[in-house]
Amino acid sequence: MTRDPVAVLHEVFGHTGFRGRQGEVVEHVMAGGSGLVLMPTGGGKSLCFQIPALCREGLAIVVSPLIALMEDQVAALRQQGVAAAALHSELDDAERRDVWRGINEGTLKLLYISPERLGMDGMLERLSQGRIALFAVDEAHCISQWGHHFRPEYRALSFLRSGFPEVPRLALTATADARTVDDIRAQLGLEDAPVFRASFDRANIYLSASPRDQERAQIRAFLREAADGRGAGIVYCGTRARAEQTADWLRADGHDAMPFHAGMPSEDKRDAHRRFARGDAVVMCATIAFGMGIDRPDVRFVAHLSLPQGPEGWYQEIGRAGRDGLPARALLLYGAGDIALARHRIQQSPASEDQKRIERARLDAMVGIAEAGSCRRRVLLRCFGEDLEADCGNCDVCASPPRLYDGSVAAQKLLSAALRTGSRFGLGHLVDVLRGRMTDKIAQFGHDKLPTYGVGKDVPEGAWRGVVRQLVAQGALDIAVENHGELVPTEAARPVMRGEVKVMLRDEVMRPRSQRASREGPQAGSDDPLFGALREWRKAEARSQQVPAYVIFHDATLAEIAARRPENLASLREVPGVGESKLQRYGTAVLAALAEAG
Ligand code: ADP
Ligand code: ZN
């Protein structure tokens, strides 16, 4: 007995239609086909296997790398009235028996399982006593050494191709890097299967990047714009120590902030995950250890305190914001030192030359995004092989286009000062030389006798940092980050010195921060009292069921209910996000909450 996918989409999930390429994927799997789905985080990958799982006969087996991820999806599916379960090491005996009963009796439709468990002796034989509807391999980039989250256990999944040639295999990932994609296809035997590539644009995320000058003030301003201090978000901090420090000062500021990194006891990590999933307005100050398996759709902002290693990782991280389609914000703070440090790390890594070349290219692409002089989203999407037809209108560059001016002369002065002092000094001293100051150090080295002494008085103090950043970005200058931060001109400095290559600076370099345009971020109906009342109701309901708030209803659904003010179950049923199961469970309570809030 098979069911109609569109009917299931409507009745079970409450959605009005398929999104992007979901419809195609579902049709393909329904017909028994295998394939690879490439969609950005939040693009809607889950439905691509969940709908065929419900429509095809038998049990769908979903391979997933993290317990937290499995639990979230299972909780959400159960809310929708779907027979789903996860099999993992944290179940007690009774729970495990329940799951197996569901499998053996054929009542279970979706089973989430980790790759190592699926690969255990005898597991597949037991699972395949009944019919298998499909295999879905979520976060499939974990199978590839080229991806940035390689998990050796995923390698074992290649047995799926030989063991069950007749069962559809659907691999899903948000990583579009060509090498990774080839690797996934080879490992899972999908060489001849279609690749469903969706647009990687996440238009609702406002993109912004800025040189890091006053980190705390910049983060404060960002939190105000992003969520009015109320929504949940993630601040990626680079190191464990910075994650702790950042959480500390944000807490002192009155935010519900907490650190998250791999060095914390696993109990604390689980707690943090739980609080985040529960729907609290927490600011997670994290290393990249936090994120995989974060399904929460109403993350309103993601900030980075330093330059990520490449566009794929960055996009995946900021893609955790705004999965519900409502406005969300991303901010990237970076400095010339980040770029230099990343280059040194690549240089010194034991990786092969080939691998280093790839990493350098990734880093350069990332620098290009950070330093974008035109629509930042266009620059970003080009990294994924996608060309936007027009500027996006939802990034900081579109919002206030920087004026570029020719900073070549200032750049030449700086390079010259560095060279004439033997490439042995950092920015502070060089600026003293350029501005013609008399310090002990200048007297000691006789730098007041240099021809460059005092030639840079016309450039404001703070602007020199912008000159350095631009030169480092262009590769004309290196910073000895593992030494004392000396500025060292490279080969590429020569054409700049000779005036053959221009150095363009953004006008923000010359203008004080306070004069720059700021933009108000749109809000998700957050000051509507009806919306507030519905959220309160949801919070209580979530608490009593001990499930994450969003598995009851998403913010987007609550906002839509508040806007439409349905007066009966029939009109509530029309709201996107309200399926049969949820209508039965919550319909009356929602109508009551609406009536009460007046
Ligand atoms: P991914 O796994 O690709 O990161 P999800 O499957 O978690 O994305 O989906 C992201 C969000 O989009 C979820 O909140 C989901 O409910 C919503 N969504 C997915 N498909 C649709 C659709 N066809 N119509 C409306 N909302 C959808
Ligand atoms: Zn733009």
Pairwise CA distance, residues 259 & 82, whole Å: 35
Residue nearest to atom 5 of ligand 1 (CA): 44
Residue nearest to atom 20 of ligand 1 (CA): 44
Fold: same for 5-197 and 205-336+369-399: yes
**Assigned token pair, 461:** 């103090």
Pairwise CA distance, residues 212 & 216, whole Å: 10
**Closest-lying ligand to the alpha carbon of 380?**
2
Pairwise CA distance, residues 278 & 261, whole Å: 19
Residue nearest to atom 17 of ligand 1 (CA): 44
Pairwise CA distance, residues 370 & 338, whole Å: 11
Q: What CATH fold (topology level) applies to the domain 404-520?
A: Arc Repressor Mutant, subunit A (1.10.10)
> Over pLDDT 90: what percentage of the chain?
57
How far, rounded to the nearest angstrom, does the alpha carbon of residue 118 sit from its chain's CA centroid? 28
**Which CATH architecture does the domain made up of 529-597 adopt?**
Orthogonal Bundle (1.10)
400, HSE (Cβ side, Cα atoms, 13 Å): 12
Atom number in ligand 1 closest to CA 174: 3
Both ends of the chain: CA-CA distance in Å?
46
Pairwise CA distance, residues 400 & 337, whole Å: 26
Q: How far, in Å, from the CA of 310 to the mean position of ligand 1?
A: 25
Residue nearest to atom 15 of ligand 1 (CA): 44
Class of the CATH domain delimited by 205-336+369-399 = alpha beta
The answer to whether 60 and 194 have CB atoms below 8 angstroms apart is no
On average, the pLDDT of the chain sits at: 89
Q: Is the pLDDT of residue 188 over 80?
A: yes
Q: 511-565 pLDDT, tens per residue?
A: 433 333 333 334 445 567 888 899 889 988 888 888 888 889 988 899 889 888 8
Of 335-349, 425-439, 525-539, the poorest mean pLDDT is in: 525-539
Pairwise CA distance, residues 49 & 111, whole Å: 12
How far, rounded to the nearest angstrom, does the alpha carbon of residue 420 sit from its chain's CA centroid? 44
Please state, as a whole number, how many other Cβ atoms lie within 10 Å of the Cβ of residue 522: 12
| Phi and psi angles of residue 262, each rounded to the nearest 5 degrees, phi first | -65, -20
Q: 466-477 pLDDT, tens per residue?
A: 899 889 888 899
For residue 516, the model assigns a pLDDT of: 37
For residue 490, the model assigns a pLDDT of: 93
Q: Where are the domains of the chain?
A: 5-197, 205-336+369-399, 404-520, 529-597
Question: Which H/E stretch holds residue 376?
Answer: helix 376-383
Q: Is the pLDDT of residue 81 over 50?
A: yes
**Closest-lying ligand to the alpha carbon of 373?**
2
Angle at 503 between CA 497 and CA 509, to 5 degrees: 125
- SS (HEC) of 47-81: HHHHHHHHHCCCEEEEECCCHHHHHHHHHHHHHCC
Q: How far, in Å, from the CA of 369 to the mean position of ligand 2?
A: 11
Q: 139-170 pLDDT, tens per residue?
A: 999 998 766 677 888 888 888 888 888 999 99
Q: Ligand 1: residues whose CB is within 6 Å?
A: 15, 18-19, 22, 39, 41-47, 295, 297, 323-324, 554
For residue 148, the model assigns a pLDDT of: 62
**Closest-lying ligand to the alpha carbon of 376?**
2
524 or 22, greater pLDDT: 22
Q: How far, in Å, from the CA of 203 to the mean position of ligand 2?
A: 10
**Closest-lying ligand to the alpha carbon of 378?**
2
The H helix count followed by the E strand count for the chain is: 27, 17
For residue 314, the model assigns a pLDDT of: 93
Q: What CATH fold (topology level) applies to the domain 5-197?
A: Rossmann fold (3.40.50)
State the residue for tokens 């989250």: 149
Q: How far, in Å, from the CA of 429 to the mean position of ligand 2?
A: 38
Q: Is the pLDDT of residue 185 over 60?
A: yes
Long-range contacts of 75-79 (CB under 8 A, 24+ apart): 75/547, 75/548, 75/551, 76/295, 76/548, 76/550, 76/551, 77/50, 77/110, 79/547, 79/551, 79/552, 79/581, 79/582, 79/585
Q: How far, in Å, from the CA of 389 to the mean position of ligand 2?
A: 11
Residues with Cβ–ion distance below 5 A, ligand 2: 375, 377, 391-392, 395, 398
The type of residue at 523 is: Q
- Per DSSP, the residues of 417-466 read HHHHTTS---HHHHHHHHTT---HHHHHHTGGGSTTTTTTTTS-TTHHHH
**Closest-lying ligand to the alpha carbon of 398?**
2
Atom number in ligand 1 closest to CA 16: 24
For residue 293, the model assigns a pLDDT of: 64
For residue 229, the model assigns a pLDDT of: 59
Q: 195-228 pLDDT, tens per residue?
A: 999 888 999 999 999 999 889 999 999 999 887 6
428 — alpha (psi -120 to 50), left (phi > 0) or beta?
A: alpha
Q: Is the pLDDT of residue 592 over 50?
A: yes
For residue 522, the model assigns a pLDDT of: 40
Pairwise CA distance, residues 445 & 421, whole Å: 9
Across the range 355-376, mean pLDDT stands at 88
For residue 513, the model assigns a pLDDT of: 38
Q: 226-235 pLDDT, tens per residue?
A: 876 578 999 9
Q: How far, in Å, from the CA of 468 to the mean position of ligand 2?
A: 25
Please state, as a whole number, how many other Cβ atoms lie within 10 Å of the Cβ of residue 148: 18
**Assigned token pair, 467:** 């000159």
Q: Is the pLDDT of residue 83 over 90?
A: yes
321 or 295, greater pLDDT: 321
For residue 521, the model assigns a pLDDT of: 35
Residue nearest to atom 24 of ligand 1 (CA): 15
Atom number in ligand 1 closest to CA 48: 6
Please state, as a whole number, how many other Cβ atoms lie within 10 Å of the Cβ of residue 156: 15
Q: How far, in Å, from the CA of 64 to the mean position of ligand 1?
A: 17
Atom number in ligand 1 closest to CA 43: 3
